[in-house]
Amino acid sequence: MEIRTAALIGAGAVGAFFIRGLSGTLGDNFCVIADGERAARLREHGLVINGEQVFPNVCSPEEAAGADLILVATKYSGLPEVLKDLQHMTAPHTTVVSTLNGVDSEEILAEAVGAQHLLHAYMIIASQRVGNRIDYNLDAPGLIYGEKDTPEETPRARALGRLLEKAGISHRFTSEIQREQWQKFALNMGNNLPQAILNVGYEAYVDSEHVRFIHDRLFDETIRVAAAYGIKVVYDENRHGRVRPEARFSTLQDIDAGRRTEIDMFAGVLMKKAAEAGIEVPYTAFTYHAIRALEEKNEGKIR
């Protein structure tokens, strides 16, 4: 099994991680899905990825139909908008990979195309987008992927690994993809969200017992909800040395830029899964509403 054609939905801060490598490896057999004004902007201005201007091959969903691989790298809020196109693009042999860092994007995509098409995955990169300029760390672990229902590295997982290796794109197969997805989700809950409320860099988790308290409570609530679904999440005591002290994660970046955040993917999903399991998550609920209020403030709805 080989991946000879691929398409990317979402050429943002995460999607850009794949564009240069797959363009060089697959040529015109790789394309970025876009139409209308978005397609026109990409064709005219391209993207500046780590300082290099790139003009990706742009195609419509119809032109990409039947691709061997479809990477879904939209914002969480944009998932519903791509489902219809994804249905038309997905052929019986197509593998669909979601790069979103929550724990339910595969569930949403499976409702549209069927769970059999999905190879579960998540991303570990530090990236930032300003306009059409996107910067990310070249030494990031990148895409971590695996099969939900078996620890084995299946033919399609091996094919994805070979493609990414040829393209020079960081990647790793894991036999515990669901546990690792939840582990990353817990880190996002604990690290991403408190700093967005408080407008502080990552070092605040080390310097302030009060910021650390909020972090720990959100992490604890995530651990309890994960356990209710049979997933063991552990507390990582060695995480601080691996992050720049001034780091501002995606939710705070969105607040800084006046954008809508992905709080639904984080706290919103945890609240939903907690309710289904009969678990109370008060710190998560507070965080959800606090960040929603910050969005309203950015939009001029409150002063």
Query: Is residue 212 located within the same domain as residue 161?
Result: no
> Do residues 60 and 103 share a domain?
yes
Q: What is the model's pLDDT at position 54?
A: 93
Q: Which of 175, 207, 239 marks a domain boundary?
A: 175
With CA atoms as reference, report the closest residue to 5 among 15, 14, 23, 16: 23
For 117, counting Cβ atoms within 10 Å of its Cβ (0-12 exposed, 13-18 middle, 19+ buried), the class is buried
- Tell me, yes or no, whether 169 lies in a domain: yes
Mean pLDDT of 129-152: 91
- Which pLDDT score is estimated for 230? 96
Number of domains within the chain: 2
Structure tokens at 134: 């996107």
Q: Is 235 exposed, middle or buried (0-12, 13-18, 19+ CB in 10 A)?
A: exposed
pLDDT at 272 over 80: yes
- Domain span holding position 277: 178-298
Is 188 in the same domain as 284? yes
Confidence (pTM): 0.92
Which tens digit of pLDDT belongs to each residue from 217-271? 999 999 999 999 999 999 865 554 467 888 888 899 999 999 999 999 999 999 9
Of 175, 202, 222, the one marking the end of a domain is: 175
